[in-house]
Amino acid sequence: MDFLYDFFSNISCVILKEIYIMKRNALITLTILFIVKLCFSQDIITKLSGEDIQVKIIEERQYEIIYKRFNDPPQAIVKEMLNRYILMIRYENGAVSIYKDGKKVDITPLPNKDSIIMIYRGEADALRCYRGYRKAEFGTFLTSGLATPLVGLIPAISLSSSPPKDKYLNSPQKELMKNSNYYFAYKLKASEMKHKKVWYGWTFGIFVNICVLYMVLVSQGE
């Protein structure tokens, strides 16, 4: 009997020891996984310039984002970025926030999230990089300023109604121009900008024309 008692006691000890080791290993594994997830959890801020910044967002305020860079030590000073410089934020949980004109646009419920991102990115890049309107603006200004406002209407109407040519778009993301959503959003925003700038040139030319006419009349009166 004593033999059987010792035998089963030893087996019980071995089983309990194995159970303890398994539980301990499982706890260590879970702890390591938690630490790894904590260390590698990150948010990504995409600026209007197209630059991606790996961060850990601390707080989202009305006009700015408070964050720490992903590789900064825990004692590092927090930084802030104004919303108007942000295109989008991709959070560690997979959610995405889009910013337009410094305001947050919630696109989470929309089915085609990637298309929305490309559209806003195209608009933002056009605002930042498109300058192909300058020749049209200057030409309209010269015509309405040196000739007459009525004569200046001819190039103003023609140039403002024609979309910019692709070679003048100056997109910083050549590969993204192959994406139809990005391309059309970029070109539409560029067309809007060209339209406004041409009429700015025509208006400023009228002002110059009036000033010159006034100076001529004053000099003749003297």
pLDDT (tens digit per residue) in 34-80: 444 444 468 988 887 778 888 998 888 888 898 988 888 877 888 88
Phi, psi of 111 (to 5 degrees): -70, -40
β-bridge partners, 97: 89
pTM of the model: 0.57
193 and 134 both lie in a single domain: yes
Is residue 121 situated within a structural domain?
no
Q: What percent of the chain has pLDDT over 90?
A: 0
35 and 56 both lie in a single domain: no
99 and 55 both lie in a single domain: yes
Is residue 123 situated within a structural domain?
no
> Per-residue pLDDT tens for 89-125?
888 887 778 887 788 776 655 556 677 788 888 888 8
29 and 57 both lie in a single domain: no
Query: What's the structural domain count of the chain?
Result: 3
99 and 151 both lie in a single domain: no
Three-state SS string across the chain, please?
A: CHHHHHHHHHHHHHHHHHHHHHHHHHHHHHHHHHHHHHHHCCEEEEECCCCEEEEEEEEECCCEEEEEECCCCCCCCCEEEEHHHEEEEECCCCCEEEEECCEEECCCCCCCHHHHHHHHHHHHHHHHHCCCCHHHHHHHHHHHHHCCHHHHHHHHHHHHHCCCCHHHCCCCCCCHHHCHHHHHHHHHHHHHHHHHHHHHHHHHHHHHHHHHHHHHHHHHHC
> Per-residue pLDDT tens for 159-208?
888 888 888 898 887 888 888 888 888 888 899 889 989 998 888 888 88
Is residue 120 situated within a structural domain?
no
Is residue 58 situated within a structural domain?
yes
> Per-residue pLDDT tens for 86-99?
888 888 887 778 88
50 and 67 both lie in a single domain: yes
Is residue 206 situated within a structural domain?
yes
33 and 49 both lie in a single domain: no
158 and 205 both lie in a single domain: yes
Domain hosting 214: range is 129-221
